[in-house]
Every structure is written in structure tokens, then in C-alpha cells.
Amino acid sequence: MIKKLVYLCVLLVIGCAKENSLEKEIAAIPLDVNVVRFDQVFLDATPSDLPKLKKAYPLFFPSNVPDSTWIYTMNDPLQKELKTEIDAVFSDFASVHRNMKSVLQHIAFYFPEYKTPKVFTVTSEDYRKKVILLKDKILIALNIYLGADHPFYEGIQQYISHNFEKEMIPVDIATEFAFTQVPPLRERSFLGKMIYYGKIQYITSLLVPKVSTAMQFGYTKQQANWASVNETQIWTHFIEKDLLYSTDQKLEARFLNVAPFSKFYLALDNESPGGIGRFIGYRIVKAYMENNDVSLQNLLGKSSKEIFNNSKYKPKK
């Protein structure tokens, strides 16, 4: 027993050393991350500046939107309040820039063919689109990262607004990028859908390795702990109810969509985090990668059947 414990400790030390070495290598990747604070440019502008802005930033001024709309927005008193709040939360933008650079360095390491994009900070009325990835640009809506309890978010359900923290910016960049790398979902089974999201979460975990499980999944600390503690029970429920190979579309709403809680139709529902199937899918994909000599690029093309059958997945007890 003692020998086994010593062996496990040695493996842990070796694993940590390798991880630290890898992170140092990634941090050394030379990357010039160009961040354009368009939010500041627009919030500081007056109607007389509009022609100049439209010429300099055509991306943000669609031809089908009349100038009167932009002038009305510029004159709206809310704009001054918005500027004050953004300036207060992002007074130390250097730290935000470092976190952006870190996730882009990780992308450059794992996906070297991806060209480093230009980053634009903006404001947005759509809180569901905090980060938008374009071909060579990333748009980040800073007004949706002012803090979970900010008065601006009154009326938005807490399971959504609790992720409106500036620390979530690199996680959201990583997640949006992961969605662009995983082939479109074609499998109809619940297991196939879980593993699809599991691939996305696995990529996210590589791109932001220092964040907590809670942040990675958009959970609270209590929800992340619940998922970990109850992993065996969740998996047992899926098996006993013959859900793995079910093509019932309602399972997506019950266990995969972002929601206040997952729907087992049991007394414990209110304790569970939404999208618990994504957590299980991630655990399966992670087990597969730990038990097979497969590159990240090869993982993306693997079927859910191959991943599951070779994962040796066993939930925590």
C-alpha cells in the first residue's frame, strides 16, 4: 500500500512538472495582440465625428442603418453612464489584455494554422453575444462583463448573469473558438451530443488551463462541486433510464442546454447545474485522451462511438 502511494505521488510530481514546462513554453510564444478599444472611441464621440468613424470602422456601421440611429445613440444619456461603468470596471485593462494574450497564445500552440486576430472591444445590446469570432477579428462586448450583480443586468436570470464577470472573457474566447474547431453535430443520440459538447469543453480546458471547473462550465462553485460529487449518480441515471442511445430531442433541453438546472424530474433537480450532460461528455472525452495516444486534431474527427468505447470512462465514486 505504501509503495502504491509513493508511486502515485511520483506520478503526480512528474505530471505537474510536465504541465509547468508546457505552460512556460506557451507563455514564451511571441504574439502581438492588437486590441482596439472601439467602445471608448464610440462612447467618446459626438455626432460630428460620425463620418470619420464610419470611414475608420466600416465593420460597425452597416449600410442599412441610417445615420439618425447612430446620432440618437450618441445623444442618449445612457451612453455617458455606460462609459462611466466600463471605465470603472476596466480601469486596469492591462490585466485583461494579458489574459486575452494568454488564451490566444494557447490557441497558437494547439492550432498553429490559426492567424492571430485583431481584437475589438465594443458594447452590445445582446447579452447572449458577449464574444463574437469573425474570420480575422474578435469582438468583445465589455458592457456584458461589469459584474454579476450590476444594476444594468436587472431582469436577466441569475444563471446567465452570474457569468457576466470580466474574468470570464478568456473563457468565453476559448469556448467560442472551440465551437469553430469541432465538426458540426450530426449524431442524433444523446451520447453523441454529450461527446460533441465534451470535445468543445476539452478544447476550452486546454486553452484556459488555469481556470476552475466552475468557470470552464459557467457554473457556480457549489454547482461544480455538486457535479463532481454526483458524477456516479448522474451516469447511473443515464444508464438506468436508457438515455445514452436515445434520440429524444427533449433530452437536449433537459441536460445539454444552458439552463438554471438540469431536469432529472427528481427532488434533486434544483441542486443540479444546467447542461450537466456537457460535464459528463467532457469527462468521457478527457478519459479518452488520457487513455489513448491520440492528437488533439485526431480527436476532433473521432466518432462518439469510438471515443466512448475506448475511453475506459469510469465516473468518480
pLDDT at 3 over 90: no
pLDDT at 142 over 50: yes
**What confidence score (pLDDT) does residue 1 get?**
53
Helix intervals (H) in 76-140:
77-89, 93-110
User: Which of 162, 181, 200 corresponds to the end of one domain?
Assistant: 181
118 phi and psi, to 5 degrees? -85, 140
Digit-coded pLDDT (tens) for 225-237: 999 999 999 999 9
Taking the CA atoms of residue 263, residue 266, residue 269 and residue 275 in that order, the dihedral angle to the nearest 10 degrees is: -30
pTM, whole model, 2 decimals?
0.92
Domain that holds residue 215: 190-309
Integer-rounded Cα radius of gyration of the chain: 22
Q: Name the burial class of residue 16, with classes exposed (0-12), middle (13-18) and buried (19+) by CB atoms within 10 angstroms of its CB.
A: exposed
What would the mean pLDDT of 184-195 be, rounded to a whole number? 96
What would the mean pLDDT of 60-67 be, rounded to a whole number? 97
User: Which of 130, 158, 181 corresponds to the end of one domain?
Assistant: 181
Are the CB atoms for 161 and 130 separated by under 8 Å? Answer: no
Count the alpha carbons within 13 Å of 81 in the hemisphere toward its beta carbon: 7
Question: Do 284 and 174 share a domain, yes or no?
Answer: no
- The answer to whether position 230 is within a domain reads yes
Question: Do 295 and 235 share a domain, yes or no?
Answer: yes
Are the CB atoms for 284 and 313 separated by under 8 Å? Answer: yes
Digit-coded pLDDT (tens) for 76-132: 999 999 999 999 999 999 999 999 999 999 999 999 999 999 999 999 999 999 999
Split into its structural domains, the chain has a count of 2
Q: Residue 299 has which C-alpha cell?
A: 480527436
In terms of residues, how long is the chain? 317
Percent of the chain with pLDDT over 70: 94
- The answer to whether position 18 is within a domain reads no
- The answer to whether position 20 is within a domain reads no
- Which residues, listed in sequence order, are joined to residue 35 by a DSSP beta bridge? 119
